[in-house]
C-alpha cells in the first residue's frame, strides 16, 4: 500500500504563513481561487528582500549584466516563435464522472494524498498481499460511498473484488503493486477494458492523456476575435530575446553580457499543488547571458577551455559554453548559500540527454529538499526544482530572427580581425562546425515550404558570416522562481525548540531562522514599559535612527518575553530593548556604569548583550549585509 502522505511539517508551515501574515490564499473571503496566493506584510518584505538581493547579485554588482522590465502581454507571434503556442503543454486526463482534470504525471501523487486512500490503507496492506474481502465490502458500502462514489469497488463491489482476489491469488504473477491494487478497485469490466486508473477525487474512470496548453489567453482590444487573441506571458525570458538588439545598442555592452528581468509569469497549471510551489500566477527572476559560439572563441583565443569540477573562477576570454554554464551553476548555488540555504538542502541535478529540450546542450536543475519532496529508497528527500540553468545554444535569437525577419546577430570586430589571421585549414574546420550546427537547427525548425537546398543555402550564408565578424550569440539561462524560493526559505527557516519562559519554565517556541539578509524585519525595537515616557522616548529615537537603513518593528505591547516570541516567529534576527539601565547606567559587564546602552537580543539562541546606542546602527548593518 502506498504510504499515506501526512506532512505535518507542511501543515505547520502553511498555518504559520497565514497566522503571521507571510502568505494568504488569494480571494479568501470568496472561498479562494485555486493556484493563486497573496503575500501578507511579512511575506511582502521577505519577497522584496529576495528580489533585491538577486538583482544586486546579478546586475548591480557586475559590469556585464543590465536590466529590463518588459510588458506581460506581448505580440502573440513571440509565443509562436518560442514554441509555446505549439508545445507548451502538459499531458492531462479528465475524469469521465466528476469532470475534474488531473495532470497525467501527477495522478498517483495526488491519489495517495486523498482521504479515501488513507482510509483504505487502514484496512488493506498491499505489501503483504493481505486484504480482507469482507472488510473491503463493508468499506465500499460505508465510507467508500461517501468518499469515492464512482469507484468500481463502491458501485459494484462483488465483481471488482472477484478480479482482485483472483489476481492476488495467482502465484504465477508478481505480487500486486500499490498502483495495481487501486487499479483493480477501479475496474469492473476487466476483460473489456483492462485495468483502469481511478480519478483521485471520485474514483471514476480517467480519459487517455491529451495535451493541454498552459498559456492563459485574453484579448487585446474590444473585439474578442482570433486576431485580437493575446497571451499572458508564461515566462519572462522571451521579452529579453526580443529586446536583445535594443539593449545591445543602448547599453554599451558587448557579447559576452547578460540581460536580467524579474517579473510575473502565468501558467494555467492543471493541478496547482504543494502550497505556492506550483501556482498559476508567480514571479520569475531570469537572466539571459549571451556568449560567443565556441567556433568564435576558438578563432579569437586559439582554443576553448573546458571547465573542471569546481567553480571556474573569474570569466576568461577563452571560455566556451561549457565553462560559462558551469560558472552560472556555481554562481547560483553560491547565491542560495549566501541567503541561508545550506548546500546540504540543495541538489544539483544534471538533466539526462533524453530529458533535454531539443535545442538545449545541457540543463542543470537546482533542487531544494522541500518537506513534501519525494524520498528515494534510502528515505532521503530528493528535492524539487527551484531554478533551471540551461545552455540554450542560439535557438531563441534564431527563432526570433526567422519569425520577425529582423536580424538578431551581432558584429564582432575581434572575430573579423582574428579570422583574417587564421590559416586556411582552421578556417575550414571552424566554418564546417558552425555550418553543421546551423544546418541542424534550420532543418529541425524548417517550415513546410522550405526545401533542403534553401536550408543548406541559409546555413552556408550563416557560416560565411564568420569571416565578416558576424554570428548569432548563444545563451546561458539561469531561470529561478521567486515564489518557490520564498517557500524554500520559509521551509528551511522553520524550527521548533525549547526556551525558558519568563518564569524559567521550558516552553516550545516556533522560530523562523531566516538569514538576516532576507529576514522580513531586521530588528524589533522595544521600550521595556510603554508607560515610562523616558524609555519610550529613547526607543523612538532608536527607531528613527535605524528606520532609514532597515525594516524595523516597533513593539511596546505586552510582556517583553511575549514580544520576543512574536519576533522569533516572524524571523526577526535582533531585538533591541530600552530598559532602566539605559537611563541609569549599565549594572555590569564591560559597559558597567555607562548610560545610553541597550540590550541586544539574538533570535537563534536567545543570548543577550549590552551595546551602546551609538554603535547600534553600524553593528546591525554589518550583520544584515
Ligand atoms: P516544473 O517542471 O516544476 O513545472 P519548469 O521546468 O516548467 O518547472 P521553468 O519553465 O524552467 O520551470 O521555469 C523556471 C522557474 O520558474 C522554475 O524553476 C520555477 O522556480 C518557476 N516556476 C515554473 N512554474 C512555476 C509554477 N507553476 N509556480 C511557481 N513557480 C514556477
Give 372-437 as a DSSP string.
TS-B-TTS-B--EEEEEEEE-TTHHHHHHHHHH-----EE-HHHHHHHHHS-HHHHHHHHHHHHHH
Q: Where in the chain is the domain with CATH 3.40.50.800?
A: 507-624
Nearest CA to ligand 1 atom 27: 278
- 3 pLDDT tier (thresholds 50, 70, 90): very low
- Confidence at residue 5, expressed as pLDDT on a 0 to 100 scale: 45
523-527 vs 552-554, strand pairing mode: parallel
- Give the mean model confidence (pLDDT) for residues 583-595: 95
- Confidence at residue 125, expressed as pLDDT on a 0 to 100 scale: 75
Ligand 1 centroid to Cα of residue 370, in Å, is 15
- 287 pLDDT tier (thresholds 50, 70, 90): very high
Ligand 1 centroid to Cα of residue 300, in Å, is 37
- Give the mean model confidence (pLDDT) for residues 450-473: 97
- Confidence at residue 165, expressed as pLDDT on a 0 to 100 scale: 82
Nearest CA to ligand 1 atom 4: 278
User: Which CATH number does the domain 8-87+216-409+472-484 belong to among 3.40.50.20, 2.10.109.10, 3.30.930.10, 3.40.50.1000?
Assistant: 3.30.930.10
- 439 pLDDT tier (thresholds 50, 70, 90): very high
Residue 484 Cβ contacting ligand 1 at under 6 Å: yes
- The CATH code that applies to domain 507-624 is 3.40.50.800
Ligand 1 centroid to Cα of residue 481, in Å, is 6
Residue 1 has pLDDT above 50, yes or no: no
Q: Where in the chain is the domain with CATH 3.30.930.10?
A: 8-87+216-409+472-484
Query: C-alpha grid cell for residue 122?
Result: 487502514
Q: pLDDT tens digits for 548-566?
A: 999 999 999 999 999 999 9
User: What's the CA gap between 108 and 115, in Å, rounded?
Assistant: 13
The least confident of 278-282, 376-380, 488-492 is 376-380
Ligand 1, atom nearest to 90 Cα = 4
Q: Which of 393, 418, 224 is nearest to 320 (CA)?
A: 393
- 171 pLDDT tier (thresholds 50, 70, 90): low
Looking at per-residue pLDDT, the higher value among 161 and 497 belongs to 497
Q: pLDDT tens digits for 175-209?
A: 788 888 888 888 888 878 888 899 999 999 999 99
Residue 270 Cβ contacting ligand 1 at under 6 Å: no
Residue 394 has pLDDT above 50, yes or no: yes
Of the residues 91, 276, 284, 383, which should be mutated to test ligand 1's pocket, given the most ligand atoms within 8 Å of the CB? 284
- Give the mean model confidence (pLDDT) for residues 447-472: 96
Residue 81 has pLDDT above 50, yes or no: yes
Q: pLDDT tens digits for 492-509?
A: 999 999 988 878 889 999
Residue 4 has pLDDT above 70, yes or no: no
- Confidence at residue 164, expressed as pLDDT on a 0 to 100 scale: 81
CA dihedral of 249, 255, 257, 262, whole degrees rounded to 10: 60
- Confidence at residue 129, expressed as pLDDT on a 0 to 100 scale: 65
| Contact present, 515 and 336 (Cβ < 8 Å) | no
Ligand 1, atom nearest to 481 Cα = 20
Amino acid at each position: 500500500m502506498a504510504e499515506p502522505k501526512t506532512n505535518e511539517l507542511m501543515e505547520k508551515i502553511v498555518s504559520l504563513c497565514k497566522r503571521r501574515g507571510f502568505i494568504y490564499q488569494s480571494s479568501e473571503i470568496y472561498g479562494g481561487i485555486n493556484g493563486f496566493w497573496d503575500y501578507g506584510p511579512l511575506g511582502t518584505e521577505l519577497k522584496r528582500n529576495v528580489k533585491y538581493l538577486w538583482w544586486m547579485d546579478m546586475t548591480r554588482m557586475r559590469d556585464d549584466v543590465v536590466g529590463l522590465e518588459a510588458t506581460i502581454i506581448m505580440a502573440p507571434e513571440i509565443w509562436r516563435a518560442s514554441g509555446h503556442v505549439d508545445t507548451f503543454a502538459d499531458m492531462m486526463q479528465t475524469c469521465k464522472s466528476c469532470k475534474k482534470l488531473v495532470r497525467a504525471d501527477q495522478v498517483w501523487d495526488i491519489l495517495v494524498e486523498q482521504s479515501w486512500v488513507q482510509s483504505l490503507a487502514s484496512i488493506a496492506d498491499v505489501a503483504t498481499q493481505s486484504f480482507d474481502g469482507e472488510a473491503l465490502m463493508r468499506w465500499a458500502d460505508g465510507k467508500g460511498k461517501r468518499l469515492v462514489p464512482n469507484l468500481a469497488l463502491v458501485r459494484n463491489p462483488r465483481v471488482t473484488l472477484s478480479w482482485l482476489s483472483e489476481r492476488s491469488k495467482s502465484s504465477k504473477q508478481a505480487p500486486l503493486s500499490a498502483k495495481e491494487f487501486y487499479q483493480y478497485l477501479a475496474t469492473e469490466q476487466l476483460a473489456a477494458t483492462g485495468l483502469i486508473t481511478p480519478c483521485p477525487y471520485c474514483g471514476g474512470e480517467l480519459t487517455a492523456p491529451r495535451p493541454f496548453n498552459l498559456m492563459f489567453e485574453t484579448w487585446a482590444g474590444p473585439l474578442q476575435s482570433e486576431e485580437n487573441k493575446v497571451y499572458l506571458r508564461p515566462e519572462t525570458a522571451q521579452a529579453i530575446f526580443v529586446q536583445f538588439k535594443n539593449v545591445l545598442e543602448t547599453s554599451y555592452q558587448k557579447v559576452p553580457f547578460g540581460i536580467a528581468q524579474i517579473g510575473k509569469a502565468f501558467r494555467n497549471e492543471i493541478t496547482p499543488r504543494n502550497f505556492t510551489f506550483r501556482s498559476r500566477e508567480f514571479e520569475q527572476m531570469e537572466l539571459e547571458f549571451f556568449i560567443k559560439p565556441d567556433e568564435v572563441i576558438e578563432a579569437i583565443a586559439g582554443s576553448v577551455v573546458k571547465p573542471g569540477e569546481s567553480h571556474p573562477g573569474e570569466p576568461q576570454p577563452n571560455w566556451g559554453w561549457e565553462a560559462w554554464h558551469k560558472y552560472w551553476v556555481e554562481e547560483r548555488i553560491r547565491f542560495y548559500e549566501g541567503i541561508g540555504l545550506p548546500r546540504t538542502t540543495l541538489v544539483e541535478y544534471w538533466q539526462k540527454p533524453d530529458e533535454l529540450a531539443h535545442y538545449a546542450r545541457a540543463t542543470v536543475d537546482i533542487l531544494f529538499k522541500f518537506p513534501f519532496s519525494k524520498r528515494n529508497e534510502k528515505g532521503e528527500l530528493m528535492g524539487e526544482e527551484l531554478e533551471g540553468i540551461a545552455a540554450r545554444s542560439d535557438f531563441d535569437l534564431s527563432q526570433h530572427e526567422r519569425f520577425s525577419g529582423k536580424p538578431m546577430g551581432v558584429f564582432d570586430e575581434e572575430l573579423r580581425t582574428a579570422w583574417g589571421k587564421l590559416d586556411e585549414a582552421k578556417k575550414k574546420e571552424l566554418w564546417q562546425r558552425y555550418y553543421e550546427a546551423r544546418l541542424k537547427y534550420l532543418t529541425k525548425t524548417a517550415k513546410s515550404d522550405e526545401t533542403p537546398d534553401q536550408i543548406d543555402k541559409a546555413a552556408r550564408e550563416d557560416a560565411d558570416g564568420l569571416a565578416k565578424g558576424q554570428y548569432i550569440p548563444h545563451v546561458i539561462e539561469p531561470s529561478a522562481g521567486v515564489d518557490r524560493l520564498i517557500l524554500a526559505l520559509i521551509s528551511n527557516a522553520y524550527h521548533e525548540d525549547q526556551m525558558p519562559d519568563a518564569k524559567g519554565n521550558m516552553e516550545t517556541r516556533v522560530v523562523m531562522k531566516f538569514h538576516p539578509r532576507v529576514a522580513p524585519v531586521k530588528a524589533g525595537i522595544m521600550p521595556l514599559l510603554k508607560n515610562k515616557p523616558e524609555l519610550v522616548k529613547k526607543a523612538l529615537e532608536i527607531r528613527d535612527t535605524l528606520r532609514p537603513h532597515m525594516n524595523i518593528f516597533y513593539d511596546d505591547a505586552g510582556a517583553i518575553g511575549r514580544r520576543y516570541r512574536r519576533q522569533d516567529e516572524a524571523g526577526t534576527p535582533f531585538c533591541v530593548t530600552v530598559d532602566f539601565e539605559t537611563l541609569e547606567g549599565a549594572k555590569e559587564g564591560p559597559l558597567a556604569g555607562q548610560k545610553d546602552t541597550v540590550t541586544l537580543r539574538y533570535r537563534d539562541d536567545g543570548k543577550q548583550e549590552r551595546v551602546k546606542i551609538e554603535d547600534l546602527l553600524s553593528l546591525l548593518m554589518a550583520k544584515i549585509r
